[in-house]
Structure 1
């Protein structure tokens, strides 16, 4: 590598390393990202002017490398989620529609797919053989006519397919507008408590709250919002968010939950065997296990401590920031709970509630 190339690459690594250490501690909104880009752009312009005034200096290579590293670190730590901040807040006119979808649900199994945007989803069950979806839809525009027109353009029809044993409900809101999205949609859903539920729920910039669900496959995705899971039982549970906490109590055969820039606080009743994979960044993870079953635990963090407050553990790895252990009798236990936890900049604590939940 030439000296000039080494200077530029060294600047890139310097910007990447420093940017990662700083930006991973932050959750940036679009305005903050804009200021970061302005600073980087200003530095590039300044280095170009210095090069023009003093052609012999190689400062522009250093600055260019650092700027490139900072941009890469920005994407690495914040992802592309900050683009969801490009929303309708600068559109002064609005119109709102309250839309209700209802129908009978006598089937034993229900598959519900929801695709929403810029709003919360709340789902629970009730003692009725019917479903209810209440939507509050707000469309914005630069004028009242544009707001009204935008509401008309939004695709918002429920598709229903049925057999004798399965009801399939699909409600995916489709927007013809990508940037400066003018829609905000909040959903309140009630499903039959006695039905086996398969759920596929997606939104952005909103909290997802699910309670009292007995499910098969449950998939939940949001961004810039919390996941709140109460009394969730599922064969498979997958949930992800960014810039929000994950909380609740879950019982699943296979469970994968992830977030960034948020803590995780979970209770696992341990009433049946299951594998739980939990990951976050810039947040602590606190897990309370049930009174029954045996456990295999694996936890790793950085800049914090891993603590397993469970008796009769045999450790295969035991350092301050990384531990792996299992309880005596795990291999022959009828109920085996495996928990794998990854985080950074936050402690991991796993404990056992001997009185049960």
Structure 2
């Protein structure tokens, strides 16, 4: 490359950065600080919508209207207490036994039936949904994508400078790829703090929040040599998170008496809950039998009860396979 070409490239790069800096400043809805972003709110919503369609097509929702309405209503209630209540918030339970929850840009949030099966009340669910809402309100995925685009400026300045920022077609076309963004430890801590705040503002009992992390830890230990993917793979160590939440609870200066736990409301969907956990429980029982063949059936039953939140009782010695297959 000759000197003139090098200088032209350098000038083009400088101009590109200048254009981006002039067009890409926005105020973060959570912090109130000005930040450099390359994605508008409309583009954020469009990408999130595309990602949500990909999930519907590739994974699918649990076919239970009452359950979906319950989660949607709770999620929207939490989001209305957030810094971005006007987003088209959408919440759904997907047909996946892996304990997980995730958020697309623009307010599209999903929780798996596997994670639903590990929780025991509405306050725990509120803390999970609140955490994912926090990722959206703080625009964590937008920040990640902006950093990625800036890093590629030397390779594809033209696409960044296009009027629609190339509409981020690559990201939108592969909507599921947005799931693999790693927000980083600070962003996850911020999402925990925001989830705590939203749940508290909504009236949920935030003392239940550590139980979610404890349940995930316990389920991971039961998995043995095959640790659970999902939330544990994409979020910080649960033990650290429990300590942070407990510290926040200790520093809280408002009474929590009368806060909503919502166990009855959550378990009122018990038939649906048994249905959505059945596959996960059956797989867990198979693994349990393979790894601990000498354990008596009553202990296996305790495991099933913990995972499903039910209170099934059978005489000692009764094969639990019958419990799983019972209507």
What TM bracket, shorter-length normalisation? under 0.3
> Over alpha carbons, which structure has the higher Rg?
1
Which one has more relative contact order, counting CA pairs under 8 Å at least 6 apart? Answer: 2
Whichever structure has more helix as a proportion of its residues is 2
Whichever structure has more strand as a proportion of its residues is 1
What's the TM-score, normalizing by structure 1?
0.24
What's the TM-score, normalizing by structure 2?
0.26
